Amino acid sequence: MEKNELVIAPSILSLDYGHVDEQLKALMDSKAKWLHFDVMDGHFVPNLTFGPDILRGFKKAAPLFMDVHLMVDDPAFFAPIFIQNGADLITFHTEALNNDPSRIKALLQKIHELGAQAGISVKPKTNIEQFASLLNDLDLVLVMSVEPGFGGQSFMEDQLDKVRWLYDARKAQDLGYRIEIDGGINASTYKKALLAGCDTLVAGSYVFKNDIIKSIEGLLE
Ligand SMILES: O=C(CO)[C@@H](O)[C@H](O)COP(=O)(O)O
């Protein structure tokens, strides 16, 4: 059984930036409670996206739970800035801290001290089991089911092994972290993600290239 209520986090990477007001209104009228906000620095991943001012603007226009995914070389520098500007949850990539458990733990703690929830993001080639000792410090684990950097890629089904491992570990240790999946989620892949144990679905192109309200409702069914 799922421990957490199912949450859909539309990824604003795929928003149609010619029609921002309209789309934010549809999001506010939808059943989405979260927004997924991808921060890319052009170096950790080969794409550039949004800074903290944009997050502040989005939060004002659409006051939903802001799930901020840092794809940056220096998450310890950027996390406090995004929290000040409205992030409710920050995830960062462990590789940016050389996969060093003590540095990862210190940043998770810093994020918590600043009043936000904290989690790690896991790239497709990253082994999750090396972070077993950190599970108790996490509010969420973000499993990437595509290589981070771009929307519209195909779902990597083999990443569901990580989801199953996280699900079993959570149950065995009676922990409460969310299991979020991100990349290639659509009307068919979401079912596989839910069956494997995800409780938080990020969806970009599927939501914004279809009817926003109906596609979110469909993923919640
Ligand atoms: O973080 C990323 C890409 O790096 C994602 O959040 C994408 O924005 C998901 O887009 P779709 O695969 O759903 O189109």
User: Residue 3: what pLDDT?
Assistant: 60
Does 197 sit in the ligand 1 pocket, CB within 6 Å? no
User: Residue 4: what pLDDT?
Assistant: 84
The reply to whether 121 sits in an annotated binding site is: no
One of 41, 67, 137, 182 is an active-site residue; which one?
182
In a domain, 2, yes or no: no
In a domain, 1, yes or no: no
Q: Tell which one of 8, 13, 37 to mutate to probe ligand 1, the residue whose CB is within 8 A of the most ligand atoms.
A: 13
In a domain, 206, yes or no: yes
How far is residue 50's CA from residue 93's CA, in Å, rounded to a whole number?
Answer: 17
Structural domain span for residue 100: 7-220
Interface confidence: ipTM more than 0.90: yes
Does 13 sit in the ligand 1 pocket, CB within 6 Å? yes
User: Model pTM?
Assistant: 0.97
- If you count them, how many residues does the chain have? 221
Query: How would you write the pLDDT of the chain (221 residues) with one tens digit per residue?
Result: 346 899 999 999 999 999 999 999 999 999 999 999 999 999 999 999 999 999 999 999 999 999 999 999 999 999 999 999 999 999 999 999 999 999 999 999 999 999 999 999 999 999 999 999 999 999 999 999 999 999 999 999 999 999 999 999 999 999 999 999 999 999 999 999 999 999 999 999 999 999 999 999 999 98
Q: Tell which one of 182, 188, 209 to mutate to probe ligand 1, the residue whose CB is within 8 A of the most ligand atoms.
A: 182
CATH number at 88 reads 3.20.20.70
Ligand 1: centre distance to CA 119 (Å): 17
In a domain, 116, yes or no: yes
CB atoms within 10 A of CB 175: 14
Ligand 1, residue 185: give the atom nearest the CA: 13
Q: What is the DSSP letter of 125?
A: T
CB atoms within 10 A of CB 37: 25
Count Cβ atoms within 10 A of the Cβ of residue 114 and give its class: 0-12 exposed, 13-18 middle, 19 or more buried.
middle
User: Residue 57: what pLDDT?
Assistant: 97
Q: Would residue 41 show up in a list of annotated catalytic residues for this protein?
A: no
Ligand 1: centre distance to CA 183 (Å): 5
One of 38, 67, 137, 199 is an active-site residue; which one?
38
Does 205 sit in the ligand 1 pocket, CB within 6 Å? yes
Domain total for the chain? 1
Strands ordered across the beta sheet of 200-203: 7-10, 200-203, 178-182, 140-144, 117-122, 89-93, 65-71, 34-40
Does 203 sit in the ligand 1 pocket, CB within 6 Å? yes
